[in-house]
Amino acid sequence: MNNNVTDKIVVITGASSGLGAEAARHLAGLGGTVVLGARREDRIKTLADSILAKGGKALAIETDVTDRASVQKLVDTAVKTYGRIDVLLNNAGVMPLSPLEKLRVDEWDLMIDVNIKGVLYGIAAALPHMKAQKSGHIINVSSVAGHRVLENSAVYSATKFAVRALSEGLRGEVKPYNMRTTVISPGAVQSELLNGIHDEATAEQLQKFVPNIAIGADSFARCVAFAINQPEDVDINEILFRPTRQQI
Ligand SMILES: NC(=O)c1ccc[n+]([C@@H]2O[C@H](COP(=O)([O-])OP(=O)(O)OC[C@H]3O[C@@H](n4cnc5c(N)ncnc54)[C@H](OP(=O)(O)O)[C@@H]3O)[C@@H](O)[C@H]2O)c1
């Protein structure tokens, strides 16, 4: 295989389902070594086993991105095992949407902890290694909701706007270290994300239309591979994509 994914060490958070799991399969198929992090260890172990069975390279490490030490362990284990980290895909995220007036404050906290602090903990864990290597690529996952505030998505959108701000700040700071930074903002993609909406009216409303327009997670996996696969002097900073049939 001759591409710029082959032989790269790629750490992926939120690799147990949806976009992260599909990116892992795709990158492993292109010859990358994938290090899978998520809380559902059974899922990431099964995924790692299926990649290994196909001749790919994968390692599963139980990870909770709300725990800084856990994210550090994920990244440090990748470096200890393979000698380096080439890509961090900061993908773990939750989306318990609801109107602000419902005051589901625990869910606001959760979105801030996973979607913002989880991304920051990933950056904190990977940056020192990438600085020392003088190479590396951090890919953060935002959303169309990080570009516009949709109904009942005030807090989720706030976290995804934050991911874009962090990504742009990071981009400017890491140039001396020869690092690349990408933020990917997907539209509706098939995954388990809607299962995390516990406000009944919001869940019902979204279940009515999202599954009808959502596209496969392979769409996201190809975007990730596209960004990584560029020659090292090409830095793809932003990708925003939607299903062709998605209007908002
Ligand atoms: N699907 C879409 O339409 C869409 C659109 C725009 C953006 N996104 C973004 O895409 C990313 C992936 O979501 P998805 O759609 O693939 O949803 P998903 O199927 O629900 O996957 C979410 C992933 O995040 C992980 N996660 C959640 N909390 C975590 C924690 N505390 N520690 C570690 N991992 C955690 C989950 O793993 P465990 O539960 O096993 O820990 C799971 O692997 C998210 O950032 C989401 O906001 C998705």
> Please, which pLDDT band fits residue 2 given cuts at 50, 70 and 90?
low
pLDDT tens digits for 86-111? 999 999 999 999 999 999 999 999 99
* pLDDT, position 137: 98
Q: In this structure, what token pair is assigned to residue 237?
A: 């900073």
- List the catalytic residues: 156
Q: How far is it, in rounded angstroms, from Cα 212 to Cα 32? A: 33
Q: Is residue 57 part of a domain?
A: yes
> Please, which pLDDT band fits residue 17 given cuts at 50, 70 and 90?
very high
Task: Please give the backbone phi and psi of residue 182, each rounded to the nearest 5 degrees, phi first.
Answer: -135, 140
CA distances (Å), origin 158, targets 36, 40, 188: 27, 26, 18
Neighbours of 134 (CB within 10 A): 10
H or E stretch including 136?
strand 136-141
Which atom of ligand 1 is nearest the CA belonging to 64?
32
Q: What is the mean pLDDT of residues 4-31?
A: 98
Q: How many domains does the chain have?
A: 1
Q: What is the 35 CA–ligand 1 centroid distance (Å)? A: 16
Residue to probe by mutation, ligand 1, list 13, 41, 42, 91, most atoms within 8 Å of CB:
91
> Please, which pLDDT band fits residue 140 given cuts at 50, 70 and 90?
very high
Q: Is residue 3 part of a domain?
A: no
Residue 1 has pLDDT above 70, yes or no: no
Q: Is residue 26 part of a domain?
A: yes
Look up the domain containing 149 and give its range: 9-241
Q: Is residue 230 part of a domain?
A: yes
Q: What is the CATH number of the domain that holds 47?
A: 3.40.50.720
Q: Is residue 247 part of a domain?
A: no
Q: What is the 190 CA–ligand 1 centroid distance (Å)? A: 11
Residue 173 has pLDDT above 60, yes or no: yes
Q: Is residue 206 part of a domain?
A: yes
pLDDT tens digits for 37-88? 999 999 999 999 999 999 999 999 999 999 999 999 999 999 999 999 999 9
Task: Please give the backbone phi and psi of residue 84, each rounded to the nearest 5 degrees, phi first.
Answer: -170, 170
3-state SS track over 168-236 = HHHHHHCHHHCEEEEEEEECCECCCHHHHCCCHHHHHHHHHHHHHHCECCHHHHHHHHHHHHCCCCCCC
Nearest CA to ligand 1 atom 23: 14
Which burial class, exposed, middle or buried, applies to 110 when counting CB atoms under 10 A from its CB (0-12, 13-18, 19+)?
middle
* pLDDT, position 197: 98
pLDDT tens digits for 181-232? 999 999 999 999 999 999 999 999 999 989 999 999 999 999 999 999 999 9
Residue 12 has pLDDT above 70, yes or no: yes
Q: Is residue 234 part of a domain?
A: yes
Q: How far is it, in rounded angstroms, from Cα 4 to Cα 31? A: 9
Residues with CB under 6 A from ligand 1: 13-20, 38-40, 43, 63-66, 91-95, 114, 141, 143, 186, 188-189, 191-193
Q: Is residue 2 part of a domain?
A: no
